């Protein structure tokens, strides 16, 4: 069965699944330039740390394919840098767009310094680099799935099937395909080792009820939707074997920023003696910051809390606090951080970068 696709790209034509319309309708919208991408990311029509970077970079590829090569490589690289700097401002917490921009700028510098490469060839090389992100991300996610499933099965060797809990959406709708934490759940299901996955609603944007539930039902993966407030009772009632979540930015010491509500799941997992895993590609790991204290936390519009669609559900005039993310300290990530290179203790990532 084909898995869902959040991003469609073919020869310079980019479309995204408008995730604000899920689960009622599957509608793809075109992305013609970096401005379209910026707006779609900001409005969360596309979201998820890897998907944000991929859509941002592909929108630049779309523009570069249509652009007549500038006079010089310096001019080309100035344009690329300007567009990437703009895309990075779309959402502050996920690091993937920032790291992808840095990698592309480094490529520009190499191409500029290489006297055997002309400006047209440099433009083509940059486009190819940007377009390669799609396939690279899917390969990373499949590796994350395999590493994660084998680690969880090894640590639960006596169990025939496993009961997992997950938060937010970390699947095909947050990546180029297959997913990170949800990719591990897909791999457990494929290995016939999944009894049930309990997915949290993930208020207020409801990535769990609207997106993860949609993915799991679509692929007939056994799943139960719970409200965020049910997490502790579900851990106790259903004897959850492990909690697995994604990441928007992992700091060098393993502290991890992820969707709001992740930190409390980690605290609950600790108090129920349940393994807590983070699944994330190295493209989500920020070795430039030592710990989670310096991760910028995005504040989202209060209307996401006070309204369901256009219907007001909270008293007018009430103050709100709507951080999109929280930071889970490394010591609560007891199962480890599952990456495409293997599963590591949170403070053991640096040697593998
Ligand atoms: C595969 S990373 C997905 C990550 O991104 C989500 O945030 P948002 O939906 O606001 O982009 C959430 O934190 C997920 O864990």
The pLDDT tens digits of the residues spanning 61-118 come to 999 999 998 999 999 999 999 999 999 999 999 999 999 999 999 999 999 999 999 9
The answer, as to whether pTM is greater than 0.90, is yes
Superfamily holding 158-352 = Translation initiation factor eif-2b; domain 2 (3.40.50.10470)
Residue 258 CB less than 6 A away from ligand 1 = yes
Q: Which atom of ligand 1 is nearest to the CA of 246?
A: 15
Percent of the chain with pLDDT over 70: 99
Residue 49 CB less than 6 A away from ligand 1 = yes
119 CA to centre of ligand 1 in angstroms: 37
* Cross-strand bridge partners of residue 86: none
123 CA to centre of ligand 1 in angstroms: 31
In the numeric block, the tokens 């006079």 are attached to 71
Domain edges within the chain: 7-137, 158-352
Mutate to test the pocket of ligand 1, among 6, 259, 276 (most ligand atoms within 8 A of CB): 259
Residues with active-site annotation = 248
Q: Which atom of ligand 1 is nearest to the CA of 169?
A: 14
Which CATH code is given to the segment(s) 7-137?
1.20.120.420
The pLDDT tens digits of the residues spanning 237-281 come to 999 999 999 999 999 999 999 999 999 999 999 999 999 999 999
21 CA to centre of ligand 1 in angstroms: 17
Residue 336 CB less than 6 A away from ligand 1 = no
Q: Burial level of 170, CB count in 10 A (0-12/13-18/19+)?
A: buried
Residue 47 CB less than 6 A away from ligand 1 = yes
Residue 234 CB less than 6 A away from ligand 1 = no
Rounded to whole angstroms, the Cα distance separating 194 from 224 reads: 12
H-assigned helices in the chain: 34-42, 49-66, 73-88, 96-113, 119-155, 181-190, 213-218, 231-238, 262-271, 303-306
73 CA to centre of ligand 1 in angstroms: 36
ipTM: 0.98
pLDDT for 2 beyond 90: no
The whole-number pLDDT of residue 4 equals 83
The pLDDT tens digits of the residues spanning 186-233 come to 999 999 999 999 999 999 999 999 999 999 999 999 999 999 999 999
């Amino acid at each position: 069965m084909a898995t869902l696709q959040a991003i469609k790209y073919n020869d310079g034509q980019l479309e995204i699944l408008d995730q604000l319309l899920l689960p009622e309708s599957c509608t793809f919208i075109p992305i013609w330039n970096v401005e379209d991408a910026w707006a779609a990311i900001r409005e969360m029509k596309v979201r998820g740390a890897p998907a944000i970077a991929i859509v941002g970079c592909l929108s630049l590829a779309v523009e570069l394919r249509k652009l007549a090569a500038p006079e010089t490589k310096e001019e080309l690289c100035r344009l690329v840098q300007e567009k990437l700097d703009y895309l990075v401002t779309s959402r502050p917490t996920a690091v993937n767009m920032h790291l992808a921009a840095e990698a592309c700028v480094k490529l520009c510098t190499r191409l500029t310094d290489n006297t055997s490469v002309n400006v047209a060839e440099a433009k083509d090389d940059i486009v190819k680099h940007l377009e390669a992100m799609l396939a690279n991300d899917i390969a990373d996610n499949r590796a994350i799935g395999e590493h994660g499933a084998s680690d969880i099965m090894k640590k639960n060797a006596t169990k025939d099937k496993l009961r997992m809990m997950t938060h937010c959406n970390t699947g095909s709708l947050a990546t180029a395909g297959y997913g990170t934490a949800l990719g591990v759940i897909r791999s457990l299901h494929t290995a016939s080792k999944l009894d049930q996955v309990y997915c949290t609603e993930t208020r207020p944007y409801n990535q769990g009820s609207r997106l993860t539930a949609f993915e799991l039902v679509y692929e007939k993966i056994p799943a139960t939707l719970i409200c965020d407030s049910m997490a502790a009772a579900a851990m106790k009632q259903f004897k959850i074997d492990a909690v697995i979540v994604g990441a928007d930015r992992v700091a060098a010491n393993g502290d991890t920023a992820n969707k709001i509500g992740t930190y409390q799941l980690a605290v609950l997992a600790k108090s129920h003696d349940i393994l807590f895993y983070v699944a994330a590609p190295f493209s989500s790991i920020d070795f430039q910051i030592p710990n989670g204290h310096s991760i910028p936390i995005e504040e989202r519009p209060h209307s996401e809390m006070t309204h369901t669609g256009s219907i007001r559900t909270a008293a007018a005039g009430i103050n709100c606090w709507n951080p999109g993310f929280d930071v889970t300290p490394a010591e609560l990530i007891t199962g480890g951080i599952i990456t495409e290179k293997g599963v590591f203790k949170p403070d053991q990532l640096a040697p593998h970068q």
